[in-house]
Amino acid sequence: MGVSKANRYAFFRGEIVPIEEAKVSIMTSTFNYGTGVFEGIRAYWNAEEEQLYIFRMREHFQRFLRNCRLLLIELPYSVEQLCEITVELLRKEGFQEDAYIRPLAYKSSEVIGVRLHDLESECAIFAVPFGEYIDRPGGARVMVSSWRRLSDNAIPPRNKIIGAYVNSALAKTEAHLQGFDDALMLKEDGHLSEGSAANLFLVREGRLLTPPVTADILEGITRATVIELARDLGLETVERELDRSELYAADEAFLCGTAVGIVPLIEVDHRPIGEGKIGPISKELRRLYQAVVRGQEPRYRHWCTPVYRAKVLASSAAS
């Protein structure tokens, strides 16, 4: 892996500029009211090929533009254009390590007033070197949060709305202050929803169980990836409402998401999950996922967008 370095550039107001120039006013609507959406996209370094692969970039930007519609954000970019901009940005950065890409679409008008209409919109993208979000190779310990997940009729969790993530921050910090790695959240009706910023899967009797997309969860791209990988491994996934007690009775459990990847859970509320160690299904799915995102599984190579041309990488390494 190459030497880690900070990001130097951002796509801002229609062009790639030095990161120091990508600034907004404190009067910007999104800073005051959370009126924006974002995406999280991962790029993975394949040292053997000396290539950086962006994972499922097109699907992320499709969701990004879909989420923009909810907040009446109009951008002059197509999915294809956003993908091209992102590849260009990463080439300019020259990362030779794993990275995290953050697209933002936001209400940029500098006005006071709570609304979505009659406001200008902007788009920005930046990327940073990025390691493990939850660095627990032996499995994570979680708690069921006292904070409930937002509902679709309040601030829809299926959309990555900037202001909505205060809900996640409250749950995450509550868990951290009590000595846990992350939080699991319930819906208002008491059914399981998801982690603070990741989707949840249980394993019982060789099947995967996960809350449906109507359970106030993010419609996760990693979640969809896990379901497809599981099917290819001969594993059935059942999407249905899950009770809290099913969590305590699970044989295995894991979180998944763009930032976290796949993180097996070994304990919840000080209770061991299954045997209190990473189970075989979680272990195999994590192994396969880590290979897939780095372009090491030919069957899924179409999900991985290469960033570098050979001469670009050689030039970056020389500098």
Q: For the beta carbon of residue 38, count every other beta carbon within 10 angstroms.
A: 17
Is residue 226 domain-resident?
yes
Characterize the bridge pairing of strands 51-55 and 41-46. Answer: antiparallel
CATH code (residue 42): 3.30.470.10
What is the C-alpha to C-alpha distance for residues 129 and 101, in angstroms, rounded to an integer? 9
Is residue 190 domain-resident?
yes
Q: Which residues are catalytic?
A: 160
pTM comes to: 0.93
Q: Could you give the percent of the chain with pLDDT greater than 70?
A: 95
Is residue 33 domain-resident?
yes
Residue 197 DSSP label: S
DSSP annotation string for 102-117: EEEEEE-----S--SS
What is the C-alpha to C-alpha distance for residues 10 and 16, in angstroms, rounded to an integer? 5
Residue 161 DSSP label: B
Q: What is the count of structural domains for the chain?
A: 2
Q: In this structure, are 154 and 267 located in the same domain? A: yes
Provide the pLDDT for residue 319.
46
Q: What is the pLDDT of residues 117-165, one digit of tens each?
A: 999 999 999 999 998 887 888 999 999 999 999 999 999 999 999 999 9
Q: In this structure, are 146 and 247 located in the same domain? A: yes
Q: What is the pLDDT of residues 275-305, one digit of tens each?
A: 999 999 999 999 999 999 999 999 999 999 9
What is the C-alpha to C-alpha distance for residues 193 and 238, in angstroms, rounded to an integer? 15
Structural domain range at position 185: 140-278
Provide the pLDDT for residue 46.
97
Q: In this structure, are 261 and 150 located in the same domain? A: yes
Is residue 286 domain-resident?
no
